[in-house]
Amino acid sequence: MNLIDGKKIAEQIQLEIGEEVKILVAAGNRAPHLAAVLVGSDGGSMTYVNAKMKACERIGFRSTSLKFESTITEAELLKVVADLNSDPELDGFIVQLPLPKHINEQKIVQAIDPKKDVDGFHPVNVGRMALNLPCYLPATPYGILQLLQRSGIETSGKHCVVIGRSNIVGSPMSILLTRNANPGNCTVTVCHSRTPDISVFTKQADIIVLALGKPGFLKGDMVKDGVVVIDVGTTRVDAPDTKAGWRLKGDADFESVSPKCSWITPVPGGVGPMTITGLLQNTLLAAKKVIY
């Protein structure tokens, strides 16, 4: 069993981005500029946005964090998005999800200029992804592709089972792994809450991408020997023995699954660091204007 060290791979890619930033700035260009919009005080969202801002500082990006109370109206948030769209000094921005229930998330996402949609959620970028055209890929799937590639994991001709069909991970992952590219060329099965017996499919899988949000869902008796497991799950579970009182747990039951794996991502330290890295790579592409 080999651990896929997402933290180490993310650090390497971020070093590479930092070198590109130095070249850009030395040539007289401004540093790439990323903004994050945070609504409310969700603990996970705040931690994530702070991590993004720190990563920007490390690699030489400019960063802006815009925080608003959860009482902000949809119209007010749309105005914030419009202002960011028209800011010539800003290369890309994200609106951290989830948003308060009184705000239509899709309306906000669709209001973002696709050229600045470094989260890769706008329908224009999703459509371009589906057609295998240049676009900003959703950050987590983008990160997973690089984990596979940089770990030397062969995907061509393999059977990949994606568990979960969200627009953020499951659905784009299934598209990306079927495309004629490397990584890609997989035969992909998508399982979800209406799949009667998921183990029928997982036992056949060469690669499993777990994006359910159900800690410990995948058990050792559900996989075959030599499987590659990419665990996207990051659920906080009670852990009285820790200082925080909780720990992150993945969707795979690591103790029973890992002995059967050829490769597996740990939680934490697997996919998580690569999500931020994917966002930074998209922002660099936006600054260089190589997509649009």
What residues are annotated to the active site?
A: 52, 96, 119
Euclidean distance between the first and the last CA atom of the chain, given in angstroms as a whole number: 41
How many Å apart are CA 267 and CA 233, to the nearest integer?
8
Instruction: Using DSSP bridges, classify how beta strands 187-191 and 159-163 pair: parallel, antiparallel or unpaired.
Output: parallel
**Nearest C-alpha neighbor of 25 from the set 230, 284, 249:** 284
Lookup: tokens for 40 = 């409310």
Lookup: tokens for 12 = 């390497």
Radius of gyration of the chain (CA): 19
**Is the backbone of residue 226 left (phi > 0), alpha (psi -120 to 50) or beta?**
left
What backbone torsions phi and psi does residue 79 show, to the nearest 5 degrees?
-65, -40
Lookup: tokens for 233 = 């799950």
**Nearest C-alpha neighbor of 164 from the set 222, 230, 227, 109:** 230
- Residues with Cβ within 8 Å of residue 19, at least 6 apart in sequence: none
**Is the backbone of residue 60 left (phi > 0), alpha (psi -120 to 50) or beta?**
left
